[in-house]
Amino acid sequence: MTAGNILIADDETRMRKLVADFLKKEGYTVIEAEDGKQALDIIHSGQHISLAILDVMMPETDGWTVCREIRKSGQTPVIMLTARSEESDELFGFDLGADEYITKPFSPLILVARVQALLRRTSDPKTSVKNLDGLEIDKNRRVVNIDGERVDLSPKEYELLLYLVDNESLAVSREQILNSVWDYDYYGDARTVDTHIKRLRYKLGIKGDFIQTVRGLGYRFEII
């Protein structure tokens, strides 16, 4: 049995083949697309995709557009690849619902580790519904409702909320969040956490006040 179907969309053949070889060694089935249009054709074909790795700059259709289309129809994890390292690009990717943002050049082994971590998180079986003063988390269906209304969260936002809730009333540092939610040793700054917290608070509306800032440390989830 394979570990899952991974879509790789990158117009650089060498890069695409390199990543595919490393993923295949781990038992994944790799589906390759040489541009964004081909990636969209694969997605719209109905073929099950466990995770998508998308280059930002591609001919025909760019990676942003493909990511946006994926988010319209589901919560498939998305990793964006780019040769650009500007903060604005990274934040834009997260705004579209990307779960990871990796700057080229990168280690294929690290990319595989991030793929494995994302798939572990999104496939981890949940068995209960938790209601926190109108904020309802259905762990089995991976669904979040506020006062009966569905909240559209990306997989990473969902995992972040779940981690905070599971540590209710405890102050957790940004480093703890990175190591637990991202599930690997993160070698960047902590603004990734702050960006996701900001988006999560916005999506939770008034319930976003449950996520409190602990000055000089990180965050705490507490019903107020």
Joined together, the tokens standing for residue 68 give 């946006």
Alpha carbon 105 to its chain's center: 20
Provide the H-helix boundaries in the chain.
13-25, 36-44, 63-73, 87-96, 108-123, 155-166, 174-181, 191-204
CATH code for the domain defined by 129-221: 1.10.10.10
Residues forming a β-bridge with 52: 7, 78
Give per-10-residue mean pLDDT for the chain (224 aa): 81 92 93 94 88 90 90 83 71 76 86 86 62 85 87 91 91 88 63 91 95 94 86
What pLDDT is attached to residue 119? 84
What's domain 5-123's superfamily in CATH? Response regulator (3.40.50.2300)
Where does CATH 3.40.50.2300 sit in the chain? 5-123
CB-based contacts of 160, cutoff 8 Å, min separation 6: 177, 181, 193, 196, 197, 200
**This prediction's pTM:** 0.59
Reading across the β-sheet that carries 211-214, which strands appear in turn? 172-173, 218-221, 211-214
The reported pLDDT for the residue numbered 1 is: 39
Residues of the chain with CATH 1.10.10.10: 129-221
Which residue, 132, 160, 129, 124, is CA-closest to 143?
A: 129
Instruction: Tally the residues of the chain.
Output: 224
CB 68 within 8 A of CB 43: no
